[in-house]
Chains A and B, each alone.
Chain A
Amino acid sequence: MATTSRLDRTRPAPAEAATARPRRGRRSSPTLNFWLFTSPFLIGLVIFVYVPIGWSVWLSFFEARFTVTPDKFTGFANYRQMLDNGNFTGALLTFTVFAALIVPTTWALSLGLALLVNRMRFMRAFFRSVFFLPTACSYVAASLIWKMSLFNGVRFGLANTVIGWFGVDNIAWLADPDPPWYWLVLVTARLWLQSGFYMILFLAALQNIPQELYEAAEIDGAKRGWQTFRHITLPQLRATSTAVILLLLVAAYQAFDEFFNLLSKTTWGRPPLVELYYMALGQNQDYGAGSAGAVMLTLLICVVTLFQGRLMGFGRGEESR
């Protein structure tokens, strides 16, 4: 009823609309509005994203040591150098493995947290905030805490204190690569920092699942718990899961801060970006080779995410909602 009456009111007004239109046009045409609102972003995008990408691609074909305006064209020499560089290709391989492990782990942990928090009868807001808070913490600050107080190698480090209760000797978590305890430090830091954010995404998606579905399932005799989770919750979270996995994959390949801060002077556990940083910035100032590596890394991320999108149907329109 309400809908019809509203439609009726707008219908007999073509003349009014004609007078109104020019006034609206003078104040703001849709085109002007569009550019007004989007141009700050577009300008930023062009200056801070597209120009550097283009510049980087251009640099990758030049010998650019100690300069970003080189003049010596070297073709694919930088690419060849990077592919010959065992450290870089090793880092790509290591981080493909790293991504394969950390992505499902973070996914599962954040989904688990979301399910727990969603079930909460009381203090839900409190726990939601508590789990989300680490997202606001800087990776560098977290790395320093992990390195200096939780996982330092001396007897009063938190981790060593705890294993000391069970009579286990102190472990130099980060200094000694055999056995590779440093992965434990890196992975826990990453999980702590990231899970909360993805938990919020899952939480939002969980709250969007219509209650009717669960009611219908109950009527049809589905058991609460695993059965409903497997056949209702999980399929309903598909779009969010896909997005989360996509973001996690990109984040895994772009890992930098905690690795850079936790591992110093190592030849192991270096993500591609740290490798590139050392190559292009810190010491060699070789922007050509660094750019070549960056281009290859970008391509790899694109390929992996496209493949993943294919596999899980990201952006397949209505069906993937």
Chain B
Amino acid sequence: MSASSNSNWSRRSLFRAAAGMAAAGTLAACGSNNGRGGGSSSGDHLVQYFHAYGEAGTEQAIKKYAKAYPKADVSTQWITGSDFESKLFATLLTANAPDLFEFHPQIQLVKSGQVADLSDIIDPVKSDFNQADIASHTVDGKIYGVRMIDDPQFFFYRKSMLEKAKVEVPQTLDELIEAAAKLTTGKVKGAFLGNDLHAVINPLIWSSGADTLTADNRPAFNTDGVAEGLTKMRKLFTSGSLLLGAPADYWDPSAINQGLCAIQFCGMWAMPAMQQALGDDLGVFPFPKAADAGKPSVYNGGWSMFVNAKGKNVDAAKEYVKWLWIEQKKYQEDWALSYGFHIPPRSSIAASATKLQSGLPAEGVKLFDQYGHFDNIGWTQAMITATENVFADCVRKNGDPKASLDTAEKTVSAELKKLFG
């Protein structure tokens, strides 16, 4: 008897608790942060997406610029985590899509009508931009994004460690493998190329004398040279002289700063932090030649501002992009030089960037000019994934390079067919 009354009681209380939870859930949904800021209905509200930059002060800087804009209330979503593109692509489909966002030029965004044509705001100052940056954002004569910063990626090395091990700066991938072996001691690994090596995929393709795509958008990476380069990468990966599984990935200077490795693949952005930790004990070199037909290469990455063409405030967003990334040169300079080092895509700003004109930064700029490869707008995320799978299968796993490259070529061709017919 008592058992039955007990179960009655618990069922009722369960219902009550559940109903309460449902109500609470509804309320919570009402209060959820939709990123649009609160309050006043006057003026436009714009939302912008940024990936989380690692350098101190960057988030505050972006918010400071936004706050200084008089014509609209711009709120910033600072997206942490390593899959910015996934979050961005997923949100772009919803009603909460940002009005403007930073990303890399990728043609599928243009073809699907996702990004707005920004030619009218860029055209007046077109000649002041690095022409390679203009080219990488242009489809059929229209410019779809404003480059904010150019980020060359290359190797940093500890001069003292190379001297001590009597190692010259590597000129070829074979020499890099040897150097890494000689530099490896009980506590220090020879080199760090990132935990999953994806940052060196394009440099390896270029340094093997190939390219991602041809000028008329055909796959160009499936060559014997690249296969040879991949075989060498596998040798390096299994040599035991590569730092693997570091707590922070290649884009963070921790590994070289903490003395975990003698050579690290990283980007220009981390140079100030490295110089602070290591002083003058630091040099740079490009991704070395990987096959006979190749030459050293540097990936000139970077970030650009795009306007969501499917958003509700396209014009206001364009106005803001024009104001900040075309007109406000002070802020553009601040953004490129005050936190990490980035190369300003505007020639007029680059010319006055004294911080980049001497010492190690100047050497970085030289690598950018001499060996740099810019983004190819036809090289999209699906193709990037295809080459990442090549690295996974035949560098981290012991797959056959030629077979992996064939598979990737098939995927890339299918994508190209969808995009270009």
Q: Is the CB of A282 within 8 A of B86?
A: yes
Q: How far is the CA of A176 from the CA of B83 in the complex (A)?
A: 21
Q: Which of A153-161, A216-224, A232-240 contacts B (4 or more CB under 8 A)?
A: A153-161
A266 at the interface (CB under 8 A from B): yes
A177 at the interface (CB under 8 A from B): yes
Q: Is the CB of B245 within 8 A of A175?
A: yes
Which one, A152, A265, A277, contacts B196 given CB within 8 A? Answer: A265
B398 at the interface (CB under 8 A from A): yes
Chain B residues positioned under 8 Å from A277 (CB to CB) = 86
Q: What residue of chain B has the Cβ atom nearest to residue A43's Cβ?
A: B22
Give 7 closest A-B pairs by Cβ, nearest first: A153-B245, A172-B244, A282-B86, A175-B244, A40-B22, A265-B196, A283-B381
Chain B residues positioned under 8 Å from A55 (CB to CB) = none
A173 at the interface (CB under 8 A from B): yes
Give the Cβ gap from B243 to chain A, nearest Cβ, in Å: 7
Name 19 extra pairs, CB < 8 A, besides A44-B25, A152-B247, A153-B246.
A37-B19, A40-B19, A40-B23, A152-B245, A153-B195, A155-B187, A169-B240, A172-B244, A175-B195, A175-B196, A176-B244, A268-B397, A282-B86, A282-B90, A282-B381, A283-B89, A283-B381, A283-B382, A283-B385
A-contact 0/1 string along B218-239, CB 8 Å cutoff:
0000000000000000000100
Chain B residues positioned under 8 Å from A283 (CB to CB) = 85-86, 89, 381-382, 384-385
Given A152-B246, A178-B398, verify A66-B93 contact (CB < 8 Å): yes
Give the Cβ gap from A138 to chain B, nearest Cβ, in Å: 13
A-contact 0/1 string along B19-35, CB 8 Å cutoff:
10011011000000000
Q: Which of B64-72, B167-175, B342-350, B388-396 contacts A (4 or more CB under 8 A)?
A: B388-396
Q: What residue of chain A has the Cβ atom nearest to residue B111's Cβ?
A: A66
Q: How far is the CA of A68 from the CA of B392 in the complex (A)?
A: 31
Q: How far is the CA of A281 from the CA of B85 in the complex (A)?
A: 10
| Subset of 11 A-B contacts with CB under 8 Å | A66-B112, A153-B195, A153-B244, A264-B195, A265-B391, A266-B196, A281-B86, A283-B381, A283-B384, A283-B385, A285-B93
B-contact 0/1 string along A33-45, CB 8 Å cutoff:
0000100110010
Q: What residue of chain A has the Cβ atom nearest to residue B82's Cβ?
A: A264
Given A154-B260, A172-B244, verify A268-B392 contact (CB < 8 Å): yes
Q: Is the CB of A154 within 8 A of B245?
A: yes
Chain B residues positioned under 8 Å from A153 (CB to CB) = 195, 243-246
Q: Is the CB of A37 within 8 A of B397?
A: no
Chain B residues positioned under 8 Å from A175 (CB to CB) = 195-196, 244-245, 396
Which one, A3, A148, A178, A278, contacts B247 given CB within 8 A? Answer: A148
Quick one: which of A262-297 are within 8 Å of B by CB? 264-268, 277-278, 281-285
Give the Cβ gap from A86 to chain B, nearest Cβ, in Å: 9
B420 at the interface (CB under 8 A from A): no
Q: Is the CB of A154 within 8 A of B247?
A: yes
Q: Is the CB of A174 within 8 A of B245?
A: yes
B1 at the interface (CB under 8 A from A): yes
Chain A at the B interface: SS class: loop
Q: Is the CB of A66 within 8 A of B245?
A: no
Given A44-B22, A267-B393, verify A154-B382 contact (CB < 8 Å): no
| Number of residues of chain A lying within 8 A (CB) of chain B | 37
Q: How far is the CA of A157 from the CA of B196 in the complex (A)?
A: 18
Q: Is the CB of B246 within 8 A of A154?
A: yes
Given A178-B397, A264-B82, verify A67-B392 contact (CB < 8 Å): no
Q: Is the CB of B195 within 8 A of A282?
A: no
Q: How far is the CA of A151 from the CA of B247 in the complex (A)?
A: 9
Q: How far is the CA of A174 from the CA of B244 in the complex (A)?
A: 8
Interface residues of B (CB under 8 A from A): 1, 15, 18-19, 22-23, 25-26, 82-83, 85-86, 89-90, 93, 108, 112, 114, 187, 195-196, 198, 237, 240, 243-247, 260, 381-382, 384-385, 388-389, 391-393, 396-398
Give the Cβ gap from A269 to chain B, nearest Cβ, in Å: 11
Q: Is the CB of B392 within 8 A of A154?
A: no
Q: Is the CB of B389 within 8 A of A267?
A: yes
Chain A residues positioned under 8 Å from B23 (CB to CB) = 40
Q: Is the CB of B247 within 8 A of A177?
A: no
Give the Cβ gap from A290 to chain B, nearest Cβ, in Å: 12
Q: Is the CB of A267 within 8 A of B392?
A: yes
Chain B residues positioned under 8 Å from A265 (CB to CB) = 196, 198, 388, 391-392
Given A66-B114, A152-B245, verify A266-B89 contact (CB < 8 Å): no
Give the Cβ gap from A320 to chain B, nearest Cβ, in Å: 19
Chain A residues positioned under 8 Å from B237 (CB to CB) = 176
Q: How far is the CA of A4 from the CA of B26 in the complex (A)?
A: 48
Q: Is the CB of A284 within 8 A of B382?
A: yes
A149 at the interface (CB under 8 A from B): yes
Give the Cβ gap from B383 to chain A, nearest Cβ, in Å: 10
Q: What residue of chain A has the Cβ atom nearest to residue B396's Cβ?
A: A177
Give the Cβ gap from A266 to chain B, nearest Cβ, in Å: 5
Q: How far is the CA of A28 from the CA of B243 in the complex (A)?
A: 70
Of the listed residues A172, A265, A267, A282, the one surrounded by the most CB atoms of chain B closer than 10 A to its CB is A265
Which one, B83, B93, B187, B240, contacts A68 given CB within 8 A? Answer: B93
Q: What residue of chain B has the Cβ atom nearest to residue A40's Cβ?
A: B22
Q: How far is the CA of A149 from the CA of B248 in the complex (A)?
A: 11
Give the Cβ gap from A113 to chain B, nearest Cβ, in Å: 26
Give the Cβ gap from A64 to chain B, nearest Cβ, in Å: 10
Of the listed residues A41, A154, A277, the one surrounded by the most CB atoms of chain B closer than 10 A to its CB is A154
Chain A residues positioned under 8 Å from B26 (CB to CB) = 40
Give the Cβ gap from A30 to chain B, nearest Cβ, in Å: 13
Chain A residues positioned under 8 Å from B112 (CB to CB) = 65-66
